[in-house]
Copies of this chain bind each other. A is one copy, B any other.
């Protein structure tokens, strides 16, 4: 996944560089005024719009979009849950105590702790379902910050262009000077659009995609632990979890 993002960044940069180099206007790539206005305006609006408790998640989320954590695939997660089901079937939930610290997934570990601690099935199920709902809500909030930035960035680019146009109009009797001022005005819109569509929007979409994958894994765990608590034989547990899995494996057979 990481490779794809890097490839995307390079491809985009090369495409823009190539076209600007062919047009002999590479000197326009960096413009202080445009940068100050677009970045300053976008961050300012975002700071006003969101409370600090939301904003402080942004740097981490941004990093996460480019360097995703390792996450078990649905197939791996199914195997883990099924192997737990088998142990519970063989020697009871108590034997999990020793192994619980080697489980990497937080949600699975916490849920199993509650099983070991002897909470009622209904209580554990409700607890897990609420965790999923509130995680989804929190993820949506973080990705909505990037969507907000993708909305206002081009608008502050436009503001910069308006400022530039005013400057241009003062030089309206001098076509050469007018042309060069206009170029600067155009760059601001360029920055706004580029920031929105090359960083903010793709990051928002990628965070949503990662969130969706994590939620599916959590639903798989929730279904699996429920099946264990129901006393299903491990084979039935596996069959139940297959629906999550086949959703992935069938993807590979999509075109057949």
Contacts and interface: CB of A to CB of B under 8 A. Distances in A.
Interface residues of A, number: 112
A190 to B, nearest CB: 5
A167 interface: yes
Interface string A123-154: 10001001100110110010000001001100
B47 A5 contact: yes
Contact of A5 (B48, B106, B169, B186): B48
B194 A159 contact: yes
Q: Quick one: copies of this chain in the complex?
A: 5
A151 B202 CA distance: 11
A40 B15 contact: yes
State the main secondary structure of chain A at its contact with B.
helix
Interface string A4-15: 110111011011
Interface string A230-256: 000000100110011011101100110
A203 to B, nearest CB: 8
Q: Which 4 A-B pairs have the closest CB atoms?
A: A15-B40, A8-B47, A12-B44, A60-B255
29 contacts: A1-B51, A8-B43, A8-B47, A15-B37, A15-B40, A16-B37, A19-B37, A22-B32, A23-B164, A25-B163, A45-B197, A45-B202, A48-B206, A49-B201, A49-B205, A51-B210, A51-B213, A57-B254, A106-B250, A134-B247, A135-B247, A141-B209, A159-B194, A162-B189, A162-B190, A170-B180, A173-B175, A173-B176, A173-B179
